[in-house]
Amino acid sequence: MGRWQPNARGRLAEAALELYGERGYEQTTVAEIAKRAGLTERTFFRHYADKREVLFSGAVDLEGLFARAVAEAPESAAPLDAVACGFGPVSEMFADRRDFARRRQAVIMAHDNLRERELIKLAALSGAIAEALRIRRVGEPAASLAAEAGVAVFKVGFERWIAESERRGMAEILRESLAELRSVAASG
C-alpha cells in the first residue's frame, strides 16, 4: 500500500470535469479541483501544465493512434484515403465512451478558453497526420491540405456522432462526412 491514494492524475481529471460541469469553468478554482481529488493546488500543477490541460490528457493517444494508422495505410492509398484509414481505429477508441465524450464536449464548448485548447490539440493532430503523409512521399502543400481536410471531417463527424440520438457508429458517420467533403470539393 502506497503512502498516497492511487491515480492522482485520474482523480484530478475527474474532479475537474465534474466541477467544470457543475459550476462552469471560470467559477471553478484549481484549489477546489485539488481539494475534491484529495490533493493540494500545487500538486495539480505538477500533473497538468494549466487549468485547461486537465481535460486533454487523451489527446496524445488520439494523435498517436491516428498518425500510426495513416503511416500504415496501404502504399497504394491516395493521401486523403490514407488519412481516412485513421477513422477506423479512432472510432473504436471512442466506441464505448460516448457518454463521457458528450459530457466532456459540452464542458469544452461552454468556454472559449477550453475551445482554444481543443483547437490547438486538433492542430497538433493535423500536424502529425501531415508529417505521416510526408513520410509517404506526399508533397507540400498536398500533405497539409489533406491532413486539414481529414481533421475537418473528423471534427464535423465527431460533433454529429455526439449530437445524434440514434446510436449509429462513429465510423459510419465519418464515412458519410468524408463523402460529403469529396462532393463539396468536386469541381463544378
Partner DNA sequence: AGGGTCGATGACAGTAACTGACATCGATGT
Partner DNA sequence: ACATCGATGTCAGTTACTGTCATCGACCCT
Range list of H helices, the chain: 8-23, 30-36, 41-47, 59-71, 79-84, 87-95, 98-109, 112-135, 142-163, 170-185
141 near a copy of itself, judged by CB under 8 A? yes
Over the window 8 to 37, marking each residue x when it contacts DNA by CB under 7 A and - when it does not, the resulting string is x-------------------xxxx--x---
Binding span for DNA by CB under 7 A among 1-9, 86-94, 114-122, 131-139: 1-9
- Name which position in 13, 30, 146, 162 contacts a copy of itself (CB under 8 A): 146
Select from 111, 129, 115, 140 the least CA-distant residue to 56.
Answer: 115
63 near a copy of itself, judged by CB under 8 A? no
81 near a copy of itself, judged by CB under 8 A? yes
Looking up cell 500504415 gives: 72
65 near a copy of itself, judged by CB under 8 A? no
Angle at CA of residue 9, ends 3 and 13, nearest 5°: 140
In angstroms, what is the minimal distance from the CB of 47 to a copy of itself? 19
Burial class (CB in 10 A: 0-12, 13-18, 19+), 159: middle
Applying CB under 8 A, the residues found at the interface with a copy of itself are 77-81, 112, 115-117, 119-120, 123, 141-142, 144-146, 148-149, 152-153, 155-157, 160, 177, 180-188
